[in-house]
Chains A and B, each alone.
Chain A
C-alpha cells in the first residue's frame, strides 16, 4: 500500500542554518504531496503542496520539489529561525482522498 517515510528527529540546528528534512514515498500513480507543520499546542497547518511531478511548492521560505524519479519530496529552507521550531509532517493523498502520513520530524532551532 501507499506509504511515506521521513527522517527521524529531533533535528537540532542553530539559527540561520540550512534545513533539509527528507521525505520519500511509495504509491501507485502520482499522488499529490504535502508538508504540514504543527507548532506546540496547535493543530496542523498546511505548509506547502505539489500536485504533479517537477512541481515546486513554496511558502514562508520553505520549498519542496516533487521528484518522480526518486519518489521524494524533501523540505528545505535556506535560513531557519527559532520560530520555525515545530513538528513537520510529510503526507500524500491517496486515491480515496485520504492523507497517508509520515511519522513526523521534530525541528528544534537554537538561537
Chain B
C-alpha cells in the first residue's frame, strides 16, 4: 500500500515570497491533516479535512496560510507571503477517519527554509 506522498521535499525561498506544498493521502483515507513542525518541537495541527470539508482550522494563520482539498483527495497548503518564522517541516497525514479506523499515517514532510 502506498503511503502519504508529499512534494516538494525541500524548498528554500526568500521572505515575502510564496510557496505551495502538495499532499496525496493514502487511497481511501477520508481525513487529511496538515501539521507544522518547527525544529526541536512536536507537530502543531494547522488544518484537518474530512473529505473535502474543513473540520478544524483554528490554528491556521489565515492571513498568510491557506489550504484546500478539492474533490476530497489530494490537498495543497500555500503560504503567502512567507516569514522567517515559517521555516519548518510541513507534514501531511491521513486516516480512514471515524469508525473506519483511527491510525494516522504521516508523509515524509516538506522542509521549508525561509531566508
Known: A42-B108, A43-B109, A44-B91. A96 touches B42 (CB 8 A): no
User: A42 contacts which chain B residues (CB < 8 A)?
Assistant: 108-109
User: A34 contacts which chain B residues (CB < 8 A)?
Assistant: 103-104
Q: Is B55 an interface position by the 8 A CB rule? A: yes
For the complex, give the distance between the alpha carbons of A96 and B45 in Å.
Answer: 12
Q: Is A49 an interface position by the 8 A CB rule? A: yes
Measured between C-beta atoms, what is the minimum distance from B47 to chain A in Å?
A: 11
- Would you call B105 and A46 a contact (CB within 8 A)? yes
Q: Is B102 an interface position by the 8 A CB rule? A: yes
For the complex, give the distance between the alpha carbons of A46 and B103 in Å.
Answer: 9
Q: Is B61 an interface position by the 8 A CB rule? A: no
Number of interface residues of A (CB under 8 A): 20
Q: Is B72 an interface position by the 8 A CB rule? A: no
Known: A43-B109, A97-B98. A49 touches B103 (CB 8 A): yes
Q: Is B31 an interface position by the 8 A CB rule? A: yes
- Would you call B108 and A43 a contact (CB within 8 A)? yes
- A11-19, A64-72, A99-107: which lies at the B interface? A99-107
Q: Is B34 an interface position by the 8 A CB rule? A: no
Q: Is B48 an interface position by the 8 A CB rule? A: yes
Q: Is B95 an interface position by the 8 A CB rule? A: yes
Q: Is A32 an interface position by the 8 A CB rule? A: yes
Closest 7 pairs (CB-CB, A-B): A44-B106, A101-B42, A43-B109, A43-B108, A43-B106, A32-B102, A104-B42
Interface residues in chain A, defined as those with a beta carbon under 8 Å from any beta carbon in chain B: 32, 34, 36, 42-46, 49, 51, 89, 93, 96-99, 101-104
